[in-house]
Amino acid sequence: MIEINLIPDVKLELLRTQRQQRNVISISILLAIIAAGLVVLLAVYVFLVQGVAITLAQNAIDEESAQLQKVEDLSKTLTIQKQLEQISSLHDQKHVSSRVFDIMRTIVPTGTNRVSISQLGLDTESNTITIEGEAKNGYPALEVFKKTIAKTTFEYVQDGTKQDALPIATDITDGDQRYGEASDGSRVLRFTLSFTYPSELFATTSERGRVVAPNNQNATDSAVGVPTSLFTNRGTEE
């Protein structure tokens, strides 16, 4: 059987182009319908599903808040709980200021160069100890006192490990020095000095603290009792 194509090539190309155009339009319409459907689904999720979820969550919050408001002395309870949570932090930040008496027992000279303390100041903000005292042996006793302070160390344990000993004092500074009359009428040198101490010296994390002077005299955290001979009443000035 013989077939004869009576349609010109130009007509065939036109028909092919029209067919492709219809296919493209059909696909575009289908994609547009799918996109519109997705937009509608997203809109339903955002405005309906999320709205319902937010409303339910808010209702739950309101109910819980209402129940909390019914608790008697709620504000006091919350305040106490907050304070309890801060106890550990506050404990770590406090200072073992009682060690200052161990230091005094260790560094104050006795015998010929005996020094009596009339006033003692501990400034935990600037890590400074200020001492006012008097010495019957005058400047030699004061020099012995200063050298003893400079060579005294602090031994301690931290987290179960023994740490290197630290000098208890840096930047020892002389203050006012003058001769005066002691409470018993004797002539004494009255003086003021201060020094900077390491933060570990009074830290709660420094366990089993031990203050050691160069003359092997020492005091530990477990030592009790402070000799009254360390302290004296203020005398009169010349």
| CA-wise closest residue to 204 among 102, 88, 103 | 88
Q: Copy the structure tokens of residue 216.
A: 């092997």
pLDDT of res. 226: 42
Write the pLDDT tens digit of every residue in 59-97.
888 787 777 666 666 566 666 566 655 555 555 556 788
pTM (two decimals): 0.55
pLDDT over threshold 90, residue 190? yes
Q: Tell me the percentage of the chain whose pLDDT exceeds 70.
A: 74
Q: What is the pLDDT of residue 221?
A: 47
229 vs 98, residue with greater confidence: 98
Q: What is the pLDDT of residue 87?
A: 57
pLDDT at 145: 92
Q: Which residue has the higher pLDDT, 176 or 69?
A: 176
Helix H, strand E, coil C: the string for the chain is CCCCCCCCHHHHHHHHHHHHHHHHHHHHHHHHHHHHHHHHHHHHHHHHHHHHHHHHHHHHHHHHHHHHHCCCCHHHHHHHHHHHHHHHHHHHHCECCCHHHHHHHHHCCCHHHCEEEEEEEEECCCCEEEEEEEECCCHHHHHHHHHHHHHCEEEEEECCEECCCEECCEEEEEEEEEEEECCCCCEEEEEEEEEECCHHHHECCCEEEEEECCCCCEEECCCCCCCHHHECCCCEEC
Q: What is the mean pLDDT of residues 192-221?
A: 81
Q: pLDDT, tens digit, for every residue of 99-156? A: 888 898 889 888 888 999 989 999 988 999 999 999 999 999 999 999 999 999 999 9
- Percentage of the chain modeled with pLDDT above 90: 29
The pair of three-digit structure tokens given for residue 53, joined into one six-digit string: 């979820």
Predicted pLDDT of residue 178: 92
